[in-house]
Amino acid sequence: MAEVLSVEDLLDAYRTMKTIREFEDRVHVEFAKGGIPGFVHLYAGEEASATGVGLQLRNDDQLASNHRGHGHCIAKGVEVKGMMAEIYGKKTGTCHGKGGSMHIADLDAGMMGANGIVGGGPPLACGAALAAKMKGTGGLAVVFCGDGASNQGTTFEAMNLATVWKLPVVFVFENNGYAEATDARFSVSCKDIADRAIGFGMPGQIVDGHDFFAVHDAFETAAARARAGDGPSLLEHKLDRFFGHFEGDNQNYRPKDEVKRLREDICCIKRFAAEVTNSHGVSAEQLNEIDEEIAVLIDDAVAFAENSPEPGPEDLMTDVYINY
Amino acid sequence: MAEVLSVEDLLDAYRTMKTIREFEDRVHVEFAKGGIPGFVHLYAGEEASATGVGLQLRNDDQLASNHRGHGHCIAKGVEVKGMMAEIYGKKTGTCHGKGGSMHIADLDAGMMGANGIVGGGPPLACGAALAAKMKGTGGLAVVFCGDGASNQGTTFEAMNLATVWKLPVVFVFENNGYAEATDARFSVSCKDIADRAIGFGMPGQIVDGHDFFAVHDAFETAAARARAGDGPSLLEHKLDRFFGHFEGDNQNYRPKDEVKRLREDICCIKRFAAEVTNSHGVSAEQLNEIDEEIAVLIDDAVAFAENSPEPGPEDLMTDVYINY
Amino acid sequence: MARRITYMQAINEALDQEMARDESVIIMGEDVVGGSGSDGEMDAWGGVLGVTKGLYGKYGDRIMDTPISEAGFVGAAVGAATAGMRPVCELMFIDFVGVCFDQIYNQAAKFRYMFGGKAETPVVIRTMIGAGFRAAAQHSQCLYPMFTAVPGLKVVVPSSPYDVKGLLIQAIRDNDPVIFCEHKVLYTMEGDVPEESYTIPFGEANVVREGDDITIIALGRMVHQALAAATTLAKDGISCEVIDPRTTSPFDEDTILESIENTGRAVIVDEATPRCNMATDISALIGRKAFGDLKAPIEMVTAPHTPVPFNGTLEDLYIPSPAAIEAAVRQTVEYA
Amino acid sequence: MARRITYMQAINEALDQEMARDESVIIMGEDVVGGSGSDGEMDAWGGVLGVTKGLYGKYGDRIMDTPISEAGFVGAAVGAATAGMRPVCELMFIDFVGVCFDQIYNQAAKFRYMFGGKAETPVVIRTMIGAGFRAAAQHSQCLYPMFTAVPGLKVVVPSSPYDVKGLLIQAIRDNDPVIFCEHKVLYTMEGDVPEESYTIPFGEANVVREGDDITIIALGRMVHQALAAATTLAKDGISCEVIDPRTTSPFDEDTILESIENTGRAVIVDEATPRCNMATDISALIGRKAFGDLKAPIEMVTAPHTPVPFNGTLEDLYIPSPAAIEAAVRQTVEYA
Ligand SMILES: Cc1ncc(C[n+]2csc(CCOP(=O)(O)OP(=O)(O)O)c2C)c(N)n1
Ligand SMILES: Cc1ncc(C[n+]2csc(CCOP(=O)(O)OP(=O)(O)O)c2C)c(N)n1
Ligand SMILES: [Mg+2]
Ligand SMILES: [Mg+2]
């Protein structure tokens, strides 16, 4: 049975989802203005997925992410200012400007890293889960993969290994329907990614990824299984991204107005807000207050990033090794 | 419905199975005497698998094999003399002595190669199948993998790709229970490898790999599907190997007497011989005649190999490129 | 008839002309069409930067999107090549080769030798190399030395629109596996390119600029950095010969050795990291075969022994610059 | 107390001592135990050639069999290392790296830099290199140059029982990712090895034999080929200094440059194929930093630019032999 969420939990969840949304919407704007370099993949639209999972993670649980990692980072507790500065490539960034959007990591927060390699994360998550198992901490690891990543050999191998070694790891497939411009209905050879669970001896479940509560409940079960030492699970979150694959994508592979319709009809945050104000004792004012906090937070983060110094020549050759 | 096999077909099948067995038993003996160098993986015990498939292959169908490839080669029509010479490393070998047991190939016979890399074959078979599809020949490709190879990422990727591109390819998993010294019950995370078919949108079937007729029938269906342009299939042949992983393996991971029991109780050739002489109109004399032919064939092959010249210094640097 | 087109357009044209000429040429890769399976436009992308855009309209199913399964589809390209096709397979960024390298160096590259000379594997792997896009550590590498090391592979690193077209057509017609390294920063570079089909043979270096004082050997984008340095140095009366090997395997030793015979000095510019790279490979070659000609140590201007940094200031420092090349040339020329 | 044990036993002892000393050391790989899941003996293999045999009895679940999923378990080793373990992961043959290279060079090697210095990834990848076993093209390669090229990796190529123990203990204690290349032909080599635990620092070359006429630099098994050549040459009054770099990254430049200062001549022996290998890397280094000292071109004795052939006669020709080294030395010494 699902644990009952307190009002505080719900406000936390809202804060996290909204922070992600505002962060991404703002990065979108700043990118267009030319302030942000490189390849940037935005998470807007998928907030319920990272948040429903993240809320249940302990600090020592580990999260392996992918190229679309901002939401996972925020949900795992990485500082927004450092993230924004990293995306701008500044010395004050989470990775001192050396990583950028695709490589934000914060190992102290249990954030093992975004990843520029599709399918890079699943084996790493198995390793983190193995460490938790060996140390007997009751910790777990979770890895977020896209529908595209579900076809990468590393992902399959990791799922097999996780069952063979009975690792406390949860594989979350964020199926947003596309891998770049390719439809998941083309690239994934089975009906649902969840169909693959049986081939790896683990439970698999399809989850409405726009529904925070559905995500929360499914992950609760998977996490309990992991922490109890019963092995891995596969969750398929069906959801949608509100922006292109990366900034600059004209999205011509999507039907016209798909995004507009999604933003209006199935926005996970709108849905969450309606539900918690209707029947969970949360007030609209409470949410408004959070909105205002977040607006300030994001403004501050951008200002911080813009005003931060860049790394300099002295930083080029450091941090390759620990012992030189 | 399974095609009815003629007596001639059955004698062919017997000849192939028995050739493989005698070939392997002899290589085992010659290896122990020190005549054969390198890593040698014998196929004895699994003959019904290669033969039930091979008998239905056209010359232009392609077969991708693995390290345990002798049986696949013979079943695909590769010359036994050249194979033996190759295993001895002689210039008269199928690959002029440059490949050895793990790399026997004969592209003219549609034999794409044994492979020293576990999981090397499945993507290659997809490519051969793609070529057949593009050319519209009605040809197909088949790839043989072990239970161990079923966990390699390349294998999974190939299965997904095969369905996505609707390729005429058949994935045959020869589950002999072990990958080197590791039990398939440990390394394969699902109950049967066939359980993985659903995750790749293709039919999957468990087949008694000791039973030539079962292998034949299952492959008949899969091949028909492939040739009709309906896409790939997965077949799991449950079977056993009679020797160690490679020559020199003391097999201490197997229960004592496992091999002895297998040779006595479930030998696919004994079973086939009994069945065809009982109820398919084949006479014991016919089989005996074949046995005698094969004894000569194998003796000749060994003599040929032993008496053949080695490649010389002039061969070291050739055959790297087509155009230098 | 030559017109000015971009490096990217030249690649597209080479593919187009070869597909028209030879039915066995097929293309596969992630989003090389784009839009497969979706309800929007088909041929939506033509590759992540649009290089193959438009070919789907002409050649339909001969150009194929793939799942994100590089080992699977690169291996399929290799397998199809052994079975009579001439696949041009796109590995989006060379950085991704870590998930599919086996199919390239253990399979494609070795078939011919392992199989006693009987296999032909005419596969081309097109892939993007290089820094300069703020694309960070996993999308900016220059891994061609790793391929150059592999017996059985041919490796091409084209530096101009003209070269990229002629070399790609050659690559497609070549009967051995070819790794074709396109520098992403060059995609928008314009140059004169004949409309008609032509080939540039492998193993023939291009003397991009003639000079007498020193030989600069540079690859890919570095050719342009070297030319910029040469222009500056000319003002100070230092005459640089700039040589672009074009292919690292096969490698044209003669053109370089002849140049060194004349200049007696060399600087090698390689965007790859400094260990076991092309700079060391070529330096060792010259040191061995032109020892008597050398009047100064061979300087190597390369990326540092670090991953590619994201930050722009750092990335610009990471990439061998005209200034760094200039400094190396001056040092070499002044050596006595 | 030193006793004579084999290279293989020395590896086993290093693993044993480090596992006893430090709970966070764990081992994983295909059949490193052997027998998992079966009805026969557990600890049946201890690795394909028996190197880890017996450790399961002592350390139980800290040594783990894996499925044949190198990307999966190498990646898991990397991930476990970032999460506080010190995994020693066995990649059976270095030839197999093509299926898991991404987790090594894009992940393990780059974390520290990409993450701004915050990650530690103390993983060791033990792997077998080298020809001589009639194991053909996909089980005989010397791919250490490929790893040496990667910033963020440390690469070890031990040549003796003494070295392999000290270097492996060092590797396990090192906080960066280490590729540990064991030459399969050396497994049965015996040598004096102290019983107690000791480390050999990375980046310190070993002068295996002192000499004045020429410096031979050789790695792994090639050290012994070089020593054999040196013995023969000594009879003709040619005095060879033989240097074993031990680690290719970090690399001890000083010891080599000092030697060249004295000898003025060098031959480099590398079992890897000739392009972009250690021989070219070291030759380029010497050519640049010791130009003034050099009296002759640096000769490189390497494998040919071919896959490893199966046939024994060919394989023996493939491997750099004492005779080939001797010839190169004579040529270099006679150069005037
Ligand atoms: C190994 C590898 N192949 C290809 C790419 C290029 N690439 C980056 S993201 C992406 C699509 C990923 O799709 P999906 O996993 O569904 O995640 P989404 O972007 O939809 O969140 C591709 C092909 C890559 N980064 N790494
Ligand atoms: C990529 C790779 N990993 C490991 C090996 C070593 N190896 C060779 S055969 C083998 C076991 C294969 O088992 P399976 O696929 O079941 O085939 P079987 O030997 O049982 O026929 C292993 C681990 C290899 N050759 N290639
Ligand atoms: Mg997606
Ligand atoms: Mg098996």
What is the pLDDT tens value at each position of chain C, 336 positions in all?
789 999 999 999 999 999 999 999 999 999 999 999 999 999 999 999 999 999 999 999 999 999 999 999 999 999 999 999 999 999 999 999 999 999 999 999 999 999 999 999 999 999 999 999 999 999 999 999 999 999 999 999 999 999 999 999 999 999 999 999 999 999 999 999 999 999 999 999 999 999 999 999 999 999 999 999 999 999 999 999 999 999 999 999 999 999 999 999 999 999 999 999 999 999 999 999 999 999 999 999 999 999 999 999 999 999 999 999 999 999 999 998
Q: Which helix (H) or strand (E) holds C154?
A: strand C154-156
pLDDT tens, position by position, D226-252? 999 999 999 999 999 999 999 999 999
Angle between helices A80-87 and A284-307 (to 10 degrees): 40
**Nearest to D205, CA basis, from D131, D264, D260:** D260
DSSP string, C97-144: GGGTHHIIIIIIHHHHHHTTT------EEEEEE-S-SS--TTS----H
Longest Cα–Cα distance of chain C, Å, equals: 69
| Banded model confidence at residue B2, pLDDT cuts 50, 70, 90 | low
Residue D257 near ligand 2, beta carbon < 6 Å: no
Tens digit of each residue's pLDDT (9 = 90 or more) over C283-330 = 999 999 999 999 999 999 999 999 999 999 999 999 999 999 999 999
Task: Look at residue A3 and tell me whether its pLDDT is greater than 70.
Answer: no
What is the rounded distance in angstroms from the CA atom of residue D97 to the CA atom of residue D100?
A: 5
Q: Which residue of D has its CA nearest to C309?
A: D114
SS3 state of residue C157:
coil
B197: which chain A residues are within 8 Å (Cβ-Cβ)?
A: 199
Mean pLDDT of the A72-99 span: 98
List, for residues B265-289, the tens digit of each pLDDT value: 999 999 999 999 999 999 999 999 9
Chain C: residue whose CA lies nearest to B101: C114
Residue A206, CB-side half-sphere exposure with 13 Å CA sphere: 9
Under 8 Å CB-to-CB from C92, ≥6 apart: which residues?
C29, C30, C47, C48, C127, C128
Is C138 within 8 Å of D110 when comparing Cβ atoms?
A: yes
Closest alpha carbon to A218 in A229, A230, A233, A197: A233
Q: Over chain B, what HEC string results?
A: CCCCCCHHHHHHHHHHHHHHHHHHHHHHHHHHHCCCCCCCCCCCCCHHHHHHHHCCCCCCCEEECCCCCHHHHHHCCCCHHHHHHHHCCCCCCCCCCCCCHHHCCEHHHCEEECCCCCCCHHHHHHHHHHHHHHHCCCCCEEEEEECCHHHCHHHHHHHHHHHHCCCCEEEEEEECCEECCEEHHHHCCCCCHHHHHHHHCCCEEEEECCCHHHHHHHHHHHHHHHHCCCCCEEEEEECCCCCCCCCCCCCCCCCCCHHHHHHHHCCHHHHHHHHHHHHCCCCHHHHHHHHHHHHHHHHHHHHHHHHCCCCCHHHCCCCCCCCC
Q: Which of chain A's residues have a Cβ under 8 Å away from the Cβ of C135?
A: 38-39, 102
Please give the number of the atom of ligand 1 that sits closest to the Cα of A116: 25
pLDDT for B1: 41
Q: Which helix (H) or strand (E) holds A183?
A: strand A182-183
Look up the pTM and report it. Answer: 0.98
pLDDT band at D215 (very low <50, low <70, confident <90, very high): very high
Reference D147, options C127, C275, C97, A123; nearest CA is C275
CB B14 within 8 A of CB B272: yes
- What number does the ligand 1 atom closest to the CA of C138 have? 25
CB C36 within 8 A of CB A186: yes
D48 phi/psi in degrees, rounded to 5: -60, -30
Of residues A155, A189, A201, nearest to B189 (C-beta): A201
Ligand 2 pocket: which of D49, D68, D70 to mutate (most atoms within 8 A of CB): D68
Tokens representing residue A134 in the block = 């060996």
Residue B161 structure tokens: 């790709």
Q: Residues A12-55: pLDDT tens digits?
A: 999 999 999 999 999 999 999 999 999 999 999 999 999 999 99
Residue among C78, C106, C116 minimizing CB distance to B95: C116
Q: Which residue of C has its CA nearest to D268?
A: C284
The strand order across the sheet containing A141-146 reads A111-113, A62-64, A141-146, A169-175, A233-238, A204-208
Question: In angstroms, rounded to a whole number, what is the distance separating the alpha carbons of residues A18 and A22?
Answer: 6
HEC sequence for B64-103 = ECCCCCHHHHHHCCCCHHHHHHHHCCCCCCCCCCCCCHHH
Tell me how many helices (H) and strands (E) chain A has.
Answer: 11, 8
Distance of alpha carbon B177 from alpha carbon B183, whole angstroms: 6
Helices in A136-183 by DSSP H: which ranges? 153-164
Q: In chain A, what is the straight-line distance between the N-terminal and C-terminal CA atoms, in Å?
A: 53
Contact between residue D215 and residue D268 where contact means Cβ atoms under 8 Å apart:
no
**Using the 8-state DSSP alphabet, how is residue A60 labeled?**
T
Which of A193, A156, A202, A154 has the alpha carbon at shortest distance from A175?
A193
Ligand 2 pocket check for B144: Cβ under 6 Å: no
Is this prediction's ipTM beyond 0.95? yes
Instruction: Answer yes or no: are the C-beta atoms of D99 and B153 closer than 8 Å.
Output: yes
Cα B40 from Cα B69, distance rounded (Å): 10
* Nearest one of B289, B316, B225 to B14, comparing CA atoms: B289
Beta carbons of D332 and D265 less than 8 angstroms apart: yes
Nearest alpha carbon to residue A56 among A3, A122, A7: A3
DSSP reduced 3-state for D255: helix
Residues in chain B: 324
Can you give the pLDDT at residue C303? 98
Cα(A249) to centroid of ligand 1, in Å?
Answer: 14
C326, C232 Cβ separation under 8 angstroms: yes
Sequence letter at residue A35: G
Pocket of ligand 1 (CB under 6 A): A 41, 67-68, 116-119, 146-149, 176, 178-180, 245; C 30, 68, 70, 92, 96, 99
With contacts defined as CB-CB under 8 Å, which chain A residues touch B230? none
Give me D116's structure tokens: 């701004």
pLDDT in tens, A213-243: 999 999 999 999 999 999 999 999 999 999 9
Predicted confidence band of residue A1 (pLDDT cuts 50, 70, 90): very low
**pLDDT 10s digits, B68-96:** 999 999 999 999 999 999 999 999 999 99
| Residue A219 backbone dihedrals phi, psi, to 5 degrees | -70, -30
The rounded distance, in Å, linking the Cα atoms of B215 and B49 is 6
> How far is A71 from A24, CA to CA, in rounded Å?
8
In sequence order, which ranges of A70-183 are alpha helices (DSSP H)?
Answer: 70-75, 80-87, 121-135, 153-164
Sign of CA dihedral C149, C150, C152, C156: negative
The backbone torsions φ and ψ at residue A269, rounded to the nearest 5 degrees and listed phi first, read -75, -45
| Single-letter residue type at D231 | T
Residue D175 CA, chain-centre distance (Å), reads 18
Cβ(B105)–Cβ(B62) under 8 Å? no
A65: Cβ–Cβ under 8 A, 6 or more apart, which residues? Answer: A72, A73, A111, A112, A113, A114, A115, A121, A143, A144
Span A164-180, average pLDDT = 98
CA dihedral D316, D317, D319, D323 (to 10 degrees): 100
Burial label for C60, CB within 10 Å (0-12, 13-18, 19+), is: exposed
Residue C87, preceding bond cis, omega within 30 degrees?
no
> Which residues make beta-bridge pairs with A64?
A113, A143
CA distance D11 to chain A (A): 23
pLDDT in tens, B39-72: 999 999 999 999 999 999 999 999 999 999 999 9
Asked whether A128 and A112 are in contact (CB, 8 A), the reply is yes
